[in-house]
Amino acid sequence: MSLRLRLILLALSALVLVPGFGSVIGHIPGFGSEIPAYGELINRIGPAERQVANMVSAINFDIRGLDTLGEEFMLLAAIAGTVVLLRGQRGTDTADTAIRLPGRPLVPRAEAVTLVCRIFGPLIAVFGLYIVLHATVTPGGGFQGGVILASGTMLIYLGEGYAGWRRSVLSGWLDAMEGGGALVFTLCGLGPMLVGAAFMENLLPLGIYKDMLSGGLILIENLGVALAVTGGFTQLFLEFMEETREPAAGEDTPSE
């Protein structure tokens, strides 16, 4: 497609979309204004229907659960596209040698750095699990906790070096976590339909209000999101780190 044709399509798209954007922006409530109708409605139906204290989770996994499922697959597609672009012909070799730039001295890793990473790595993992498990009680959930868990894996790279990172973080497991988490979320929506219920309708015990195991099907959906986000973001980190690996014979050389 030529540049001229792309610009024409861009201009036509703008003619269609810009008026809509302007209308939406013009109807947005002013900064600081109250919209109590929506808040009161959510606060009323969330605890009654799902026994959850965190209304954000009630919105994500119940009130607008189908939208959340769409966002999950948007994340899946974005990460898959990034992996395809970065990996190229490099493959998933687990060589331990990182690229050394000419003239740059090799500074040994301080023992203090390794010690700090080994201490805080497990602590970050525990905190991430806490955020995931308390999605129905306190602010947090599968997405937030998944990002924390994925970020914690970077301490392996900082503390153990490229070799330790590459031996600990396996692409196959990350693919399974990302795809499996999205599948769990999808089945939570389609599963109830197999018995004549509505999409994402709860079929599990709701538990006790403000209890960690409250929420019914929300717990399973939240777990699926946590798996997908943890696997997806760690997969991105892996691909970025792989760009620093010394390519084996026949592999693409990372561009400078």
Flag residues of the chain having pLDDT under 70: 88-104, 106, 244-256
pLDDT at residue number 97? 61
Contact of 47 with 215, CB cutoff 8 Å: no
pLDDT at residue number 256? 44
| φ, ψ dihedrals at 98, nearest 5° | -95, 160
In terms of Cα–Cα distance, which of 40, 49, 41, 66 is closest to 207?
49
- CA 74, CA 82: separation in Å to the nearest integer? 12
- The string of pLDDT tens digits covering residues 78-92 is 988 888 887 765 555
How many degrees, rounded to 5, is the angle at CA 152 between CA 143 and CA 88?
Answer: 80
| φ, ψ dihedrals at 183, nearest 5° | -65, -40
pLDDT at residue number 95? 59
HSE at residue 238, side-chain half, CA atoms within 13 A, is 29
pLDDT at residue number 40? 83
Two structure tokens written together for 223: 């777990």
Task: Name the amino acid, one letter, at 131.
Answer: I
pTM attached to this predicted model? 0.78
